[in-house]
Amino acid sequence: MITLATYLNQLQPLSAGFWQQIQVMAHIQHYPAGHQLAYPGYARSQLYFVEEGLIKVYTYDEETGLPAIHHFFQAGDFIIWPASHPTFQSNALYVECLEPSHLVGFSYQALHDTILHSSEALDLAHRIIGDILRTLEFRTQLLTQSTAGRYQHFCQRFPCHRLKNIDIASYLHLSVSTISRLRSRI
């Protein structure tokens, strides 16, 4: 479990007053495995921080009908997808808890108002955005590696033993049989 306080203080030490402001904005939420935070036609205009759990973001492939995994998020990550932003009009993505998850939610409006009125919040927002971008770039970097390298680096970042082969295969653009072979070697 990675608490929001630990994560934020690693990015930037927070003043006591600002931390209190964050606590007022935060909504602690617990969701069971299988709960969908978003699905086509429905999205929450919230930003979530994962304190505990594992989340996947996916669509369905029109040809195969199978899930096409776009991202995984775990403890210590902010869950972000375009349809979560209030200016985004439609959502074609599913965002699902793969296991019981403890999330901290923030409304975009509350975040926007805080950032407008606090230089400490603005500085922290820039650091968080940089961290989110590094998280999202991870997949792009994986896809430039060899098959074994993709799987190995994926397993260094994510808990492979808690994920289904079919989900890993979709995320890495590999076959399920390839993932099974790689998994048996490690």
Give the residue extent of every domain in the chain: 4-142, 145-186
DSSP 100: -
Q: Which of 120-124, 131-135, 158-162, 170-174 is predicted with the least confidence, judged by mean pLDDT?
A: 131-135
Asked whether the CA dihedral 61, 64, 66, 69 is positive or negative, the reply is negative
The amino acid present at 26, given as its one-letter code, is A
DSSP 103: E
The whole-number pLDDT of residue 113 equals: 93
At residue 126, the 3 state secondary structure works out as helix
Q: Which of 99, 108, 111 is nearest to 33 (CA)?
A: 99
The whole-number pLDDT of residue 34 equals: 97
The whole-number pLDDT of residue 84 equals: 54
Q: What is the rounded CA–CA span in Å between residue 110 and residue 26?
A: 9
Element spanning 140, H or E: helix 119-142
What is the full DSSP assignment across 69-98?
EEEEEETT-EE--GGGSTT------EEEES
Q: Is residue 104 packed enough to be buried (19+ CB in 10 Å), middle (13-18) or exposed (0-12)? A: buried
Binned at pLDDT 50, 70 and 90, residue 134 comes out as confident
The whole-number pLDDT of residue 89 equals: 55
- The fold for domain 4-142 equals Jelly Rolls (2.60.120)
Binned at pLDDT 50, 70 and 90, residue 81 comes out as low
Binned at pLDDT 50, 70 and 90, residue 92 comes out as confident
Two tokens at 147? 């098959």
Contacts of 30 by beta carbon, 8 Å cutoff, 6+ apart: 100, 101, 102, 103
User: What is the number of helices (H) and of strands (E) in the chain?
Assistant: 7, 8
* 16-25 helix and 119-142 helix, angle to the nearest 10 degrees: 70
Q: What is the rounded CA–CA span in Å between residue 159 and residue 21?
A: 33
Binned at pLDDT 50, 70 and 90, residue 85 comes out as low
The amino acid present at 89, given as its one-letter code, is Q
Binned at pLDDT 50, 70 and 90, residue 178 comes out as very high
The per-residue pLDDT for range 33-74, each reduced to its tens digit, is 999 998 888 767 788 999 999 999 999 988 988 899 999 999
- Model confidence at 83: pLDDT above 90: no
Q: Report the predicted TM-score, pTM, of the whole model to 2 decimal places.
A: 0.89
- Model confidence at 140: pLDDT above 90: no
